[in-house]
């Protein structure tokens, strides 16, 4: 798609119902992100997410979107300890969840070694640079990365190195638009931006944020493409009201017969 100049539309997903919707909508790729920890499991970071949780949710997404390319995040500490452990965990995700690829964060020399190891085993790997949420405490919070010259240069070098290590694509999260555009133009592999401007080859958003299910979350880069929170709340309130007043279930919802 990059070679053809076509922009790539990616959304995250964590369950079968939305996976069906995303496949019907024609997204190019689904990311089962470890944002699962925050938007589905209620943690305040991605750090508590386990390989088991990723497999559990990715399996549901796979069943809901059998015809869509599914990438699954390698969660915190599933790939940082050693390339062998990374291979074991990535292999489980590929086999048990039926993923097409995995994603990992960072571009330091140890991560590059791990990427090479996974790619050599036949596992497609997506990189992730910029704001890398698994390092949120080391980065001092969820803030834009690569604003200063030295940090921007490090991102340029890491993007190049991840491509050379064999990544097939690269997420760029929360970096200035001009820098993301420059990295995208210099890369043969597609870049997928989130909070990185329109110069990337594709875009990704966290699904509940994009569909307006998380009304308190309002970063600058986010656009709400629907407001599901309002209708869902209205529906739940209507149900509570009708059950309490005895108007649901009515005759239409009740099986006749069987009386004495």
Residue 210 tokens read as: 């994009």
Nearer to ligand KIV, 225 or 239 (CB): 225
Catalytic residues: 173
Question: Which residue is closest to ligand KIV by CB?
Answer: 33
The least distance separating ligand KIV from the CB of residue 33, rounded to whole angstroms, comes to: 2
| Per-position b or e across 88-118, b if 16+ CB within 10 A of its CB | ebbebbbebbbbbbbbbbbbeeebbebbbbb
Nearer to ligand KIV, 162 or 206 (CB): 206
78: three-class secondary structure by DSSP: coil
Residue 109 tokens read as: 């020399």
Chain residues binding ligand KIV by CB under 6 A are: 12, 31, 33-35, 73, 128, 171, 173, 194, 204, 206
The least distance separating ligand KIV from the CB of residue 39, rounded to whole angstroms, comes to: 8
SS (H, E, C) 136-150: HHHHCCCCCCCCCHH
The least distance separating ligand KIV from the CB of residue 100, rounded to whole angstroms, comes to: 16
Nearer to ligand KIV, 219 or 235 (CB): 219
The Cα–Cα gap between 72 and 160 comes to 22
The least distance separating ligand KIV from the CB of residue 49, rounded to whole angstroms, comes to: 9
Cα 83 to Cα 55, 75, 117, 125, 253, distances in angstroms: 19, 14, 6, 13, 56
Other CB atoms closer than 10 Å to residue 221's CB: what's the count? 16
Nearer to ligand KIV, 152 or 204 (CB): 204
């Amino acid at each position: 798609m990059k070679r053809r100049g076509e922009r790539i539309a990616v959304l995250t997903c964590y369950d079968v119902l939305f996976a069906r919707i995303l496949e019907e909508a024609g997204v190019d790729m689904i990311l089962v992100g470890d944002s699962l920890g925050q938007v589905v499991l209620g943690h305040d970071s991605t750090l508590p997410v386990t390989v088991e949780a990723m497999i559990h949710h990715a399996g549901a997404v796979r069943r809901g979107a059998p015809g869509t390319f599914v990438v699954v995040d390698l969660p915190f500490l599933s790939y940082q300890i050693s390339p062998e452990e990374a291979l074991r965990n990535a292999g489980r995700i590929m086999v048990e969840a039926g993923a097409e690829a995995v994603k990992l964060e960072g571009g330091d020399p140890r991560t590059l070694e791990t990427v090479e190891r996974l790619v050599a085993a036949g596992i497609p790997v997506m990189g992730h640079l910029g704001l890398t949420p698994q390092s949120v405490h080391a980065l001092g919070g969820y803030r834009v990365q690569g604003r200063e010259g030295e940090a921007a240069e490090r991102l340029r070098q890491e993007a190049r190195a991840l491509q050379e290590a064999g990544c097939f694509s690269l997420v760029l999260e929360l970096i200035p638009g001009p820098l993301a555009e420059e990295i995208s133009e210099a890369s043969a592999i597609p870049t997928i931006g989130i909070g990185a401007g329109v110069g990337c080859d594709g875009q990704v958003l966290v699904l509940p944020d994009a569909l307006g299910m998380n009304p308190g979350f309002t970063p600058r880069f986010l656009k709400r493409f629907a407001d599901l929170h309002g209708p869902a709340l209205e529906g739940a309130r209507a149900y509570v009201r009708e059950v309490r007043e005895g108007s649901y279930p009515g005759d239409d919802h009740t099986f006749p017969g069987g009386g004495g």
